[in-house]
C-alpha cells in the first residue's frame, strides 16, 4: 500500500507564485524560539520513542489494513513467515526458520520456530499460520488486504506444531515473500464479521512481533510496548508511540521542541532548515515509493457493471497519452521535489534494480505539447474559437483530479497541470480532500495522484492492476488500485506469478511495466527520496534499510524501531501523558508560508501507503 501507500498520493498554483512556491524558495522561514524546557520522559523515567506520522490508521486488523502506517504497525506486532534482510532485502527467516519445496514446486513445507510466543504467553505454532491462511482462503472479507498471496493456495495444513504445509494449484513465485501477518488462532477464531472487525477495542493486542500494541485513538496515536519475549531480542525503548499530525509544520515544530523523536515526509524546505538545527539528523536516501498520475479507465466490477462518474474521454488511449506527454516530469522533480526525487519512468523504483524498467528511446513519452495536441486532435477533441478542447458532442474537455488536502506535492503539481493542460485547451479541477477514499472507491474521479511503497518482491503492487482485483459488484470493495483490467497485463501477471527463474521473472515484470506505460493508465512522475529526520539527543543509533543508504520509516521489516537505541542520559521524547525530566534545547521552528507546504508523500486512503 499502500491501499493507496496504498499505499496510495500529490501537487500546485498562478504562474510566478506557483514557480516560487512549488520550488520552496519562498515556502519557509526560520524563526528562533527562545530556549525552553522540553519534557523528555514520564515520571518514572520511561524512555519513549515518538514517531510523527502524517497518515491515519485505516484498520488495526491485518486482514483489512492497507495504509503504510497500519501495515507498519502490523510488521511490529506480528511475525510473517519470512522477513527481509536489512542489508539487501533478501529473504531471511521470520516465524519460519527454513523452507523447502517439492520437486514440482507445488508443495512448500515450512519449519516453524520453537521460540516464538504470543504476548499472552501461548506458544505460536504452525496451526496459527494454517488458520490465518485458511481464513483468507474461505472468507473473502479476510482476504481484503492480502488475498493475492493465497488465491493460488489449494490446501494449507499443520501436521504438527512445527510444520506448515502449503499445497498450490500451480507454481507461485512469492512463496518466500508472503507478506501476510500471522495471527493467533485462539484470539481471532472468535471474530464474526471480518469486514467490520477493526481489532481496536481490546488492549493489549495479542501478537508475537517485537512490539505489543497497548492503546489506540483514532487520528491521535498508536502506542506500543516492547515484547520482552521476542525471539530476536526486545526493543531498547520502553515505549513506541506513533503520533498523528495532520499538519506537517506542527510535526516539524514538535521535533524541534523535542516532543517527538522522528519526523518523516519532509518537504525540501523543511529538510534544508533542519540540517542546521542542533541535535537533529536529516536522512535523505533513495526511497521505495513511486509517485504517479493515475487515470480512471472506467470503473467497473467483476460482474461487468460500470459505475462511477469517470470522464468517458479517458477511455481513449490517445487522450491518456496526450495527458502523459503534456506533463513535464523533469520540472516536477526539479521544482516541486527540488531534486529530492528521481524522474519517474517504470512502475518499480530504481532501488529494486533487477525489476527496474525504463522505456526505450523510441517508446518514451517525453514532454511534448505539440505531440499531445496532435493526439487530442486524433481523438476528436479539437480547439474551438475560445481555445477550449471540445468533443464531437460540443462539450468542453474538463477533467477532475483527486488530491490529498494535506499533501503539498499534490497541490503543487496540480497547479502545474492546470497550466500545462490549460495551454492545450483542457480544463482541470483539482479536488483536494481530507478523505479521497470515498470518491476513489466509488469511481467518482477522472484522475488521481497515486503512490505506493514497493516491497522487494513486486507481486502485490502488480496484482492491484489485474482484473481479479476488481470489486465483485459495484457495492463491494476490491483490491484494485484504479479499476485497470487489461488482458495482456493479466497474461503477463499470470506468467510471472509461476516463474521461479529469477531472470525470466524479472523480464516478465518489466514487460508488465511496459504495458502499463504504453496504455497510459499510470504515469509515474517521480521516485521520491525518503526525507526524514530524528533527534540525536533522543536516539543514539538506528538502522536504515538498506543499511548502506536507506530509509527509516516504512521499511520492509521492523529493523528501524526494533534497533533504535536511546541516547545516554535522555528519556526519549515526551509522550504527552505526564510531566517528568526536562531538558533545555535551543530550537528553531520551521514555519511554512501561508500557501502551505505541509507534510509530503501521504498516500491515498484506500491504498496509500500499503507497505
Taking residues 353-368, what's their average pLDDT?
A: 96
Least confident of 24-28, 491-495, 518-522: 24-28
pLDDT, position 568: 87
| Residue linked to cell 536507506 | 550
**pLDDT at 524 > cutoff 60:** yes
Taking residues 176-187, what's their average pLDDT?
A: 98
- Angle value at C-alpha 274, between 273 and 275, nearest 5 degrees: 95
**pLDDT at 205 > cutoff 90:** yes
The gap between the terminal CA atoms of the chain, to the nearest Å, is 5
Cα torsion 88, 93, 94, 95 to 10°: value is 170
Query: What is the Cα–Cα distance from 379 to 375, expressed in whole angstroms?
Result: 6
Strands 153-160 and 539-541: unpaired
pLDDT band, residue 478 (cuts 50/70/90)? confident
pLDDT, position 574: 57
Query: What is the Cα–Cα distance from 46 to 573, expressed in whole angstroms?
Result: 10
Taking residues 550-569, what's their average pLDDT?
A: 94
The string of pLDDT tens digits covering residues 76-124 is: 999 999 999 999 999 999 999 999 999 999 999 999 999 999 999 999 9
Query: How many of the other CB atoms lie within 10 Å of CB of 123?
Result: 15
Least confident of 21-35, 160-174, 383-397, 569-583: 21-35
**pLDDT at 36 > cutoff 50:** no
pLDDT, position 29: 36
Query: What is the Cα–Cα distance from 599 to 608, expressed in whole angstroms?
Result: 14
User: DSSP string spanning 478-498?
Assistant: -S-SS----HHHHHHHHHHHT
Query: What is the Cα–Cα distance from 221 to 466, expressed in whole angstroms?
Result: 34
| Higher per-residue confidence, 568 vs 496 | 496
Taking residues 137-165, what's their average pLDDT?
A: 96
Strands 107-112 and 163-168: antiparallel
The string of pLDDT tens digits covering residues 280-304 is: 999 999 999 999 999 999 999 999 9
Write out the three cell numbers for 77.
506486532
| Residue linked to cell 518514451 | 364
For 219-236, give one letter per residue: b (16+ CB within 10 A) or e: eebbbbbbbeebbbeebb
pLDDT band, residue 42 (cuts 50/70/90)? low
What letter would DSSP give residue 510? Answer: H
* Residue 57 region by backbone torsions, left for phi larger than 0, else alpha for psi between -120 and 50, else beta: beta
| Residue linked to cell 485547451 | 425
| Residue linked to cell 516541486 | 336
State the pTM of this model.
0.82
pLDDT, position 273: 95
Write out the three cell numbers for 56.
491515519
Query: How many of the other CB atoms lie within 10 Å of CB of 159?
Result: 12
The string of pLDDT tens digits covering residues 576-608 is: 433 222 222 233 333 333 333 333 333 333 334
Least confident of 368-382, 558-572, 574-588: 574-588
pLDDT band, residue 149 (cuts 50/70/90)? very high
HSE of 178 in the Cβ direction (CA atoms, 13 Å)? 28
Query: What is the Cα–Cα distance from 3 to 64, expressed in whole angstroms?
Result: 10
Nearest partner of 316 among 369, 251, 254, 392, judged by Cα: 392
| Residue 17 contacts residue 595 (beta carbons within 8 Å) | yes
Query: What is the Cα–Cα distance from 133 to 96, expressed in whole angstroms?
Result: 15
The pLDDT > 90 percentage for the chain reads 82
Average pLDDT of the residues of the chain: 88
The string of pLDDT tens digits covering residues 498-509 is: 999 999 999 999
**pLDDT at 10 > cutoff 50:** no
pLDDT, position 213: 98
HSE of 371 in the Cβ direction (CA atoms, 13 Å)? 14
What HEC string does 88-107 produce? Answer: CCCEEECCEEEEEECCCCCE
pLDDT band, residue 66 (cuts 50/70/90)? confident
Handedness of CA 171, 176, 178, 179 (dihedral sign): negative
The secondary structure element, H or E, covering residue 340 is none
What letter would DSSP give residue 347? Answer: S
**pLDDT at 16 > cutoff 70:** no
Taking residues 177-201, what's their average pLDDT?
A: 97
Amino acid at each position: 500500500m499502500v491501499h493507496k501507500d496504498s499505499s496510495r498520493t500529490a501537487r500546485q498554483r498562478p504562474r510566478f507564485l506557483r514557480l516560487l512556491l512549488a520550488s520552496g524558495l519562498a515556502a519557509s522561514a526560520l524563526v528562533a524560539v527562545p530556549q525552553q524546557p522540553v519534557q523528555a520522559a514520564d515520571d518514572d523515567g520511561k524512555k519513549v520513542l515518538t514517531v510523527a506520522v502524517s497518515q491515519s490508521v485505516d484498520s488495526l486488523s491485518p486482514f483489512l489494513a492497507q495504509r503504510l502506517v497500519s501495515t507498519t504497525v502490523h510488521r511490529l506486532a506480528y511475525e510473517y513467515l519470512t522477513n527481509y534482510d536489512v542489508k539487501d532485502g533478501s529473504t531471511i527467516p521470520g516465524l519460519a526458520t527454513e523452507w523447502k519445496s517439492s520437486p514440482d514446486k507445488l508443495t512448500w513445507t515450512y519449519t516453524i520456530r520453537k521460540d516464538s510466543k504470543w504476548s499472552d504467553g501461548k506458544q505460536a505454532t504452525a496451526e496459527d499460520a494454517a488458520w490465518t491462511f485458511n481464513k483468507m482462503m474461505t472468507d473473502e472479507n479476510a482476504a481484503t488486504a492480502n488475498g493475492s498471496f493465497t488465491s493460488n493456495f489449494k490446501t494449507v495444513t499443520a501436521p504438527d506444531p512445527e510444520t506448515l504445509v502449503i499445497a498450490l494449484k500451480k507454481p507461485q513465485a512469492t512463496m518466500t515473500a508472503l507478506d501476510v501477518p500471522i495471527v493467533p488462532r485462539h484470539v481471532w477464531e472468535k471474530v464474526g464479521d471480518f469486514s467490520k472487525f477493526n481489532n481496536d477495542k481490546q488492549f493489549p493486542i495479542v501478537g508475537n512481533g517485537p512490539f505489543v500494541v497497548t492503546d489506540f485513538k483514532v487520528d491521535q496515536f498508536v502506542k506500543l510496548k516492547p515484547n520482552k519475549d521476542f525471539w530476536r531480542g526486545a526493543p531498547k525503548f520502553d515505549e513506541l508511540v506513533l503520533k498523528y499530525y495532520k499538519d506537517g509544520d506542527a510535526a516539524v515544530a514538535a521535533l524541534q521542541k523535542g516532543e517527538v523523536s522522528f519526523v518523516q515526509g519532509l518537504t525540501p524546505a523543511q529538510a534544508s532548515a533542519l540540517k542546521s538545527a542542533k541535535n537533529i539528523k536529516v536522512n535523505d536516501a533513495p526511497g521505495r515509493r513511486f509517485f504517479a498520475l493515475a487515470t480512471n479507465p472506467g470503473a467497473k466490477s467483476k460482474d461487468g457493471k460500470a459505475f462511477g462518474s469517470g470522464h468517458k474521454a479517458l477511455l481513449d488511449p490517445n487522450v491518456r497519452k496526450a495527458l502523459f506527454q503534456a506533463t513535464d516530469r523533469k520540472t516536477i522533480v526539479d521544482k516541486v521535489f527540488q531534486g529530492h526525487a528521481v524522474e519517474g519512468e517504470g512502475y518499480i523504483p530504481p532501488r529494486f534494480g533487477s525489476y527496474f524498467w525504463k522505456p526505450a528511446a523510441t517508446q518514451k513519452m517525453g514532454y511534448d505539447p505539440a505531440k499531445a495536441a496532435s493526439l487530442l486532435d486524433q481523438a476528436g477533441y479539437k480547439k474551438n474559437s475560445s481555445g477550449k478542447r471540445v468533443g464531437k458532442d460540443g462539450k468542453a474537455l474538463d477533467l477532475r483530479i483527486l488530491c490529498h488536502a494535506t499533501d503539498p506535492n499534490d497541490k503543487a503539481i496540480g497547479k502545474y497541470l492546470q497550466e500545462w493542460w490549460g495551454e492545450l485547451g483542457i480544463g482541470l479541477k483539482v479536488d483536494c480532500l481530507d478523505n479521497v477514499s470515498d470518491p476513489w472507491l466509488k469511481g467518482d474521479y477522472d484522475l488521481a495522484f497515486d503512490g505506493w511503497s514497493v516491497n522487494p518482491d513486486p507481486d502485490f503492487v502488480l496484482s492491484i492492476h489485474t482484473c481479479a482485483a476488481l470489486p465483485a459488484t459495484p457495492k463491494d470493495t476490491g483490491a484494485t488500485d484504479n479499476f485497470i483490467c487489461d488482458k495482456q497485463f493479466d497474461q503477463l501477471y499470470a506468467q510471472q506469478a509461476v516463474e521461479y527463474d529469477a531472470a525470466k521473472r524479472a523480464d516478465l515484470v518489466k514487460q508488465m511495466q511496459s504495458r502499463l506505460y504504453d496504455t497510459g493508465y499510470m504515469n509515474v512522475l517521480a521516485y521520491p527520496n525518503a526525507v526524514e529526520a530524528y533527534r540525536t539527543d533522543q536516539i543514539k543509533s538506528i538502522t536504515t534499510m538498506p543499511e548502506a543508504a536507506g530509509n527509516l520509516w516504512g521499511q520492509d521489516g521492523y529493523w528501524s524501531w526494533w534497533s533504535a537505541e536511546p541516547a545516554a542520559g535522555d528519556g526519549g521524547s515526551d509522550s504527552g501523558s505526564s510531566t517528568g525530566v526536562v531538558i533545555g534545547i535551543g530550537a528553531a521552528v520551521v514555519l511554512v508560508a501561508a500557501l502551505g507546504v505541509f507534510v509530503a508523500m501521504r498516500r491515498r486512503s484506500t491504498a496509500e501507503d500499503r507497505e
